[in-house]
Amino acid sequence: MTSLILRAAVGTTMIAHGVKHGRTIQGTADWFQMIGFREPELQARLSAVVEVGAGGALLVGAGTPLAASAVVGTMGVAARSVHVRNGFFITAEGYEYVLNLAAAAVALSTLGPGRFSVDRLFKHADDHPSVRRGLLTAGIGLGAAAVQLAAFWRRPA
């Protein structure tokens, strides 16, 4: 039941963010450009697709470790490009929120998708908690964030 609660919370949050980005592609692209991203329209579209896709996959428990890695990567990009320089608290645009979403995604991967999941239905789930799986999820997500940031982001002047 714990995994189901985490999947619902993180999954629906990611879907909501992705839908918001997708409904306002030009506004999202303008914002991405303002915070230092090259190819801002591409970044806006990819952001919407990854957030909705990862959120949806988490919500139903499909490809849980990979979907959780996508959340970690997305939150890593957000943390580095916007939030870290503002300190911890979300009230000052800090990294509190993105850190908690990423941590919840790693915890979910560590716990496994749970009893009520597509992964379990198709016997792709490991029902035993695995710190190794959680660390791999964090590593893949942070690695992907580093690649995206190196390829597309420069701190604005």
Contacts of 26-35 with CB under 8 Å at 24 or more apart are 34/156, 35/81, 35/82, 35/153, 35/156
Instruction: Give the model confidence (pLDDT) of 54-81 as tens digits.
Output: 999 999 999 999 999 999 999 999 999 9
Q: Is pLDDT of 125 > 90? A: no
User: pLDDT class for 157, splitting at 50, 70, 90?
Assistant: confident
Residues 6+ apart with CB under 8 A from 111: 2, 3, 6, 129
CB burial class (10 A; 0-12, 13-18, 19+) of residue 35?
Answer: middle
More reliable by pLDDT, 39 or 129: 39
| Residues in Cβ contact with 49 at an 8 Å cutoff, skipping those fewer than 6 apart | 18, 22
pLDDT band at 1 (very low <50, low <70, confident <90, very high): confident
Looking at beta carbons, which pairs linking 103-107 to residues 24 or more positions away fall under 8 Å?
Answer: 104/6, 104/9, 104/10, 105/10, 105/58, 105/68, 105/69, 105/71, 105/72, 105/75, 105/137, 105/141, 106/68, 106/72, 106/134, 106/137, 106/138, 106/141, 107/6, 107/134
Q: How much is the pLDDT for 123?
A: 85
Residues 80-103 pLDDT 10s: 999 999 999 999 999 999 999 999
**pLDDT exceeds 80 at position 139:** yes
